[in-house]
Chains A and B, each alone.
Chain A
Amino acid sequence: MTVAGATRFVVPESHRVTARRRLAALVMGVLLGAATLLAASLLVVIIGYVVVRGLPALNLAFFTDRPRPFGVEGGGVAPAILGSLEMGAIAALIAVPIGLGAAIFASEYRAGRWAGAVRFCAELIAGLPSVAVGVFVWAFLVRSVIGSYAGVAGALALAVIMIPIVARTVEEVLRLVPSGLREAGLALGAPRWRVILMIVLPTARAGIVTAVVLAVARAAGETAPLMLTALGNVFFNFDPLRPMAALPLQIYQYAVSPYDDWHAKAWGSSLVLVAAIAVLAVSLRLVTRSRSR
Chain B
Amino acid sequence: MITLRRPEAGPAVPAEPTPHGRRANAIRVEHLDAYYGTHRAIGGVTFDVAAGTVTAIIGPSGCGKSTLVRCINRMHEVTPGAYARGSVFVGDVDVYSPYADPVAVRSIVGMVFQKPNPFPMMSVYENVAAGPRLRGWRLSRREMDDLVERNLLRAALWDEVKDKLHRSGAALSGGQQQRLCIARALATGPSVLLMDEPCSALDPIATYRIEELMRELSREVTIVIVTHNMQQASRVSEFTAFLLAGEDGVGRLVEFGTTEELFTTPKDERTEAYITGRFG
**A207 CB to nearest B CB, Å:** 12
Per-residue interface assignment for chain A, residues 167 to 183, with 1 indicating a CB less than 8 Å from any chain B CB and 0 otherwise? 00000000000101101
Query: Is A194 close to B, CB under 8 A?
Result: yes
B103 contacts A by Cβ under 8 Å: yes
On chain A, the number of residues with a Cβ less than 8 Å from chain B's Cβ atoms is 23
Residues of A within 8 A of B75 (CB): 183, 186-187
Given A189-B106, A189-B135: A180 and B113 within 8 A (CB)? yes
Q: How far is the CA of A181 from the CA of B185 in the complex (A)?
A: 13
Contacts of B61 in A (CB 8 A): none
Contact A292–B135 (Cβ < 8 Å): no
A202 to B121, CA, bound (A): 7
Which residues of chain A (157-202) have a CB below 8 Å from chain B?
178, 180-181, 183-191, 194-195, 198-199, 202
Q: Could you tell me the distance in whole angstroms from the C-beta of B161 to the nearest C-beta in chain A?
A: 16
Asked whether A187 lies within 8 Å of B134 as measured between CB atoms, the reply is no
Docked-complex contact A178 and B117, CB < 8 angstroms: yes
- Asked if A188 meets B131 with Cβ closer than 8 Å, knowing A111-B80, A112-B80, A180-B113, the reply is yes
Query: Could you tell me the distance between the alpha carbons of A8 and B168 in the complex, rounded to whole angstroms?
Result: 54
Q: When chains A and B are docked, how far (Å) is the Cα of A181 from the Cα of B130?
A: 12
Partner of A187, one of B73, B80, B104, B119: B73
Q: Which residues of A contact B130 (CB under 8 A)?
A: 185, 188, 198-199
Chain B, 110-169, CB within 8 A of any chain A CB: 110-111, 113, 115, 117, 119-121, 123, 130-131, 133-136, 168
Known: A180-B113, A293-B168. A189 touches B120 (CB 8 A): no
- Cross-chain contact B117 with A181 (CB below 8 angstroms): yes
Q: Per-position contact with A for B180-194: 1 when CB-CB < 8 Å, else 0?
A: 010011001000000
**Which listed residue (B115, B119, B121) contacts A205, Cβ 8 A?**
B121
What residues of chain B lie closer than 8 Å to A190, measured between beta carbons?
103, 131, 134-135
The answer to the question of B46 belonging to the interface, with a C-beta cut-off of 8 Å to chain A, is no
CB–CB B106/A187 < 8 A: yes
Q: How far is the CA of A111 from the CA of B79 in the complex (A)?
A: 11
User: Is A203 part of the binding interface, using a Cβ–Cβ cutoff of 8 Å?
Assistant: yes
**Cβ of A189: which chain B residues have Cβ within 8 Å of it?**
103-108, 131, 134-135, 188
Q: For A188, give its contact among B105, B120, B135 (CB under 8 Å).
A: B135
Interface size for chain B: under 10, 10 to 19, 20 to 34, or 35 or more residues?
20 to 34
For B9, list chain A residues within 8 Å (CB).
Answer: none
B78 within 8 A of A: yes
Known: A111-B80, A189-B103, A203-B119. A183 touches B134 (CB 8 A): no
| Closest CB in chain B relative to A154 CB, distance in Å | 37
- Which of chain A's residues 111-150 have a Cβ closer than 8 Å to chain B? 111-112
A187 contacts B110, C-beta separation under 8 Å: yes
Return B90 CB to nearest CB of chain A, in Å. 12
Q: Is the CB of B119 within 8 A of A188?
A: no
Interface contact A187-B185, CB-CB below 8 Å: yes
Q: Among B107, B117, B133, B184, which residue has the most Cβ atoms of chain A within 10 A? A: B117
Alpha-carbon distance A138/B130, docked complex (angstroms): 49
Task: Name B181's closest neighbour in chain A (CB-CB).
Answer: A184
Chain B residue contacts of A198, Cβ below 8 A = 130, 133-134
Determine the distance from Cα of A191 to Cα of B105 in the docked complex, in whole angstroms: 11
Chain A residues in 8 Å Cβ range of B188? 188-189
**Minimal Cβ-Cβ distance residue in B for A293:** B168
Nearest CB of A to B277, in Å? 31
| Chain B residue contacts of A178, Cβ below 8 A | 117
Q: What residues of A have a CB within 8 angstroms of the CB of B133 in the complex?
A: 198
Complex: A194 Cα to B133 Cα, angstroms: 9
Contact A188 B134 (CB under 8 A): yes
Closest Cβ neighbor of B115 among chain A residues: A180
Contacting residues, chain A, for B78 (C-beta < 8 A): 183, 186
Binary interface profile of A, 216-258, with partner B (CB < 8 Å = 1, else 0)? Answer: 0000000000000000000000000000000000000000000
B134 with A195: CB separation less than 8 A: yes
Inter-chain contact B134/A185, CB cutoff 8 Å: yes
**28 A-B pairs in the complex with CB atoms less than 8 angstroms apart:** A178-B117, A181-B120, A184-B117, A184-B119, A185-B119, A185-B134, A186-B75, A186-B103, A187-B106, A187-B111, A187-B113, A188-B135, A188-B184, A188-B185, A188-B188, A189-B103, A189-B104, A189-B106, A189-B135, A191-B103, A194-B135, A195-B134, A198-B130, A198-B133, A198-B134, A199-B119, A202-B121, A292-B121
- In addition to A187-B73, A188-B185, 11 A-B residue pairs with Cβ atoms within 8 Å of each other are A181-B117, A186-B75, A186-B78, A187-B111, A187-B185, A188-B135, A188-B184, A189-B103, A189-B131, A189-B135, A190-B131
